[in-house]
């Protein structure tokens, strides 16, 4: 068996140590004689798994006590609807920042439930840069401001947390949560689909300040209610138990093997810096994003000759470097460097890129 280097944007690489633990426990979890997949979500065993996962997640990010951590389903895409349904109020208005594909989807969904004010957009600059704080035009009486901290497809990441006064700040952190420390207290709500930097697909994590619970529209589906999820410890119905268990193993790995988020951030910075340097030092490869906004997690790059893209991808795959194609909407290449992508993978990619350039450039 050979595990290759996986640069997939999502579902993405998982730590090998986590997969090995899951493998060892798949038939018989800790001597109980059954798999986690076969357990009642209300059993003492599974409740303990979920509690430990939540506690480790809280410890990693320093989630304050007045925030709930909710384990939900439906992906970040369901959050595009859940956020307005829960926070907008009847006929309400919200501020949205438009920085690319994912923020656009969030905006389109919010428009179904209320008024959206575009506080800033960098579409006129091809989303190659994030708007500055001074560009944000905040409408008064907004229920919240929504932004996407890391645009996974464009490879554009905010280098600051927008300051919005008393208006709750809502962030889609699907592709950079757990990649670096954050001050949760600056946010009203954070959400993230698991399959980028948390665990397998199927789980969605929401961190929400308690005072924001219970503001939902009357027609909000029960399963979309943050309050219902919070009141029921994320077990109003059956949660995605196996995804939650695996995510718990990832949190344990981050805490105890990596050594916490500060350490992880240091490694992530190093991985991304190496790759951007390799791109910048070559006339053959390119990345158009403004330097302060270059994503640490998703590195899109182009080849000087776009006709070579398919050759590049084919040869990369043969060299054990998987899933380097850019998103189908933008083309080009993209290397996602999430937490579970080891530094050796980045080194191997850089070596391959240099070799490819020498032969084809």
Ligand X SMILES: *Cc1c(COP(=O)(O)O)cnc(C)c1O
State the catalytic residues.
102, 172, 196
Of the residues 102, 158, 284, 285, which one makes contact with ligand X according to CB under 6 A: 102
**104 to 163, contacts with ligand X by CB under 6 A?**
148, 152
What tokens does 230 get? Answer: 């919070």
Count CB-CB contacts under 10 A for residue 273: 13
Going by their DSSP bridges, the two strands 285-286 and 298-303 should be labelled as antiparallel
Instruction: Describe the strand order of the beta sheet including 298-303 as a list of residue ranges.
Output: 285-286, 298-303, 333-336
State the burial class of residue 44 (Cβ atoms within 10 Å of its Cβ: 0-12, 13-18, 19+): exposed
Of the residues 54, 56, 109, 172, which one makes contact with ligand X according to CB under 6 A: 172
Q: How far is the CB of 200 from ligand X (least distance, A)?
A: 11
Nearest to 309 by CA among 297, 324, 298: 324
Indicate the DSSP class of residue 185. G
Of the residues 36, 50, 63, 76, which one makes contact with ligand X according to CB under 6 A: 76
Rounded-to-integer distance, Cα 102 and Cα 81, Å: 13
Site string for ligand X, 178-197 (x = CB under 6 A): ---------------x--x-
Residue 152 or residue 323: which is nearer to ligand X going by CB?
A: 152
Say if residue 215 carries a ligand binding annotation. Answer: no
Cis peptide before 313 (omega within 30 of 0): no
Of the residues 95, 175, 287, 336, which one makes contact with ligand X according to CB under 6 A: 175
Q: What is the dihedral of CA 82, 85, 87, 93, to 10 degrees?
A: 120
Site string for ligand X, 23-62 (x = CB under 6 A): ----------------------------------------
Q: How far is the CB of 31 from ligand X (least distance, A)?
A: 34
Stretch that binds ligand X, among 70-78, 122-130, 231-239, 338-346 (CB under 6 A): 70-78
Q: With binding defined as CB under 6 A, does residue 73 bind ligand X? A: no
Say if residue 95 carries a ligand binding annotation. Answer: no
Q: How far is the CB of 44 from ligand X (least distance, A)?
A: 30
Count CB-CB contacts under 10 A for residue 93: 17
Q: How far is the CB of 46 from ligand X (least distance, A)?
A: 23
Angle between helices 16-25 and 241-253 (to 10 degrees): 130
Say if residue 231 carries a ligand binding annotation. Answer: no
CA angle, 353 then 354 then 356, to 5°: 65
What tokens does 138 get? Answer: 């905040």
Residue 293 or residue 352: which is nearer to ligand X going by CB?
A: 293
Q: Which residues contact 211 (CB under 8 A, 6 or more apart)?
A: 66
Q: Are 94 and 84 in contact (CB under 8 A)?
A: yes
Rounded-to-integer distance, Cα 99 and Cα 76, Å: 16
Q: How far is the CB of 112 from ligand X (least distance, A)?
A: 16
Site string for ligand X, 194-213 (x = CB under 6 A): --x-----------------
Site size with ligand X, rule: CB under 6 A: 12
Q: How far is the CB of 37 from ligand X (least distance, A)?
A: 21
The two counts, helices (H) then strands (E), for the chain are 9, 14
Residue 146 or residue 209: which is nearer to ligand X going by CB?
A: 146
Q: Are 173 and 204 in contact (CB under 8 A)?
A: no
Q: With binding defined as CB under 6 A, does residue 174 bind ligand X? A: yes
Stretch that binds ligand X, among 108-116, 129-137, 170-178, 233-241 (CB under 6 A): 170-178
Q: With binding defined as CB under 6 A, does residue 10 bind ligand X? A: yes
Say if residue 253 carries a ligand binding annotation. Answer: no
The binding site consists of: 42, 76-77, 102, 152, 172, 195, 237-238
- The annotated binding site for pyridoxal 5'-phosphate is made up of 76-77, 102, 152, 172, 195, 237-238
Tell me which residues touch ligand X (CB under 6 A).
Answer: 10, 75-77, 102, 148, 152, 172, 174-175, 193, 196
């Amino acid at each position: 068996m050979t595990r290759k280097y996986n640069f997939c944007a999502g579902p993405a690489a998982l730590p090998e140590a986590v997969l090995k633990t899951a493998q060892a426990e798949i038939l018989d979890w800790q001597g109980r004689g059954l798999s986690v997949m076969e357990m009642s979500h209300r059993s003492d065993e599974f409740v303990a798994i979920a509690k430990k996962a939540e506690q480790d997640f809280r410890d990693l990010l320093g989630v304050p006590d007045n925030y709930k951590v909710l384990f939900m389903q439906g992906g970040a895409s369901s959050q595009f609807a859940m956020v307005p349904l829960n926070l907008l109020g009847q006929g309400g208005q919200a501020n949205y920042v438009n920085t690319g594909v994912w923020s656009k989807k969030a905006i389109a969904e919010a428009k179904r439930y209320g008024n959206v004010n575009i506080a800033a957009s960098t579409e006129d600059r091809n989303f190659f840069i994030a708007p500055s704080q001074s560009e944000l035009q905040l409408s008064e009486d907004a229920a919240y401001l929504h932004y996407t901290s890391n645009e996974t497809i464009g490879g554009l990441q905010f280098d600051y947390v927008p300051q919005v006064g008393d208006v709750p700040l809502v962030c889609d952190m699907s592709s950079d949560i757990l990649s670096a420390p954050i001050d949760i207290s600056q946010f009203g709500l954070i959400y993230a689909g698991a399959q980028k930097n948390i665990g397998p697909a199927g789980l969605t994590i929401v961190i929400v300040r308690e005072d924001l619970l219970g503001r939902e529209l009357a027609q909000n589906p029960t399963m979309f209610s943050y309050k219902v999820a919070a009141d029921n410890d994320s077990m109003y119905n059956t949660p995605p138990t196996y995804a939650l268990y695996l995510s718990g193993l990832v949190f344990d790995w981050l805490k105890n093997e990596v050594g916490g988020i500060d350490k992880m951030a240091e490694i992530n910075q190093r991985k991304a810096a190496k790759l951007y340097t390799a791109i910048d030092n070559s006339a053959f490869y390119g990345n158009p994003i403004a330097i302060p906004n270059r994503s640490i997690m998703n590195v899109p790059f182009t080849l000087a000759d776009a006709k070579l893209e398919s050759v590049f991808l084919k040869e990369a795959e043969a060299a054990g470097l998987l899933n380097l194609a850019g998103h189908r909407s933008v083309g080009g290449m993209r290397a996602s460097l999430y937490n579970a992508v080891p530094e050796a993978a980045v080194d191997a990619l850089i070596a391959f890129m240099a070799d490819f350039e020498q032969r084809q450039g």
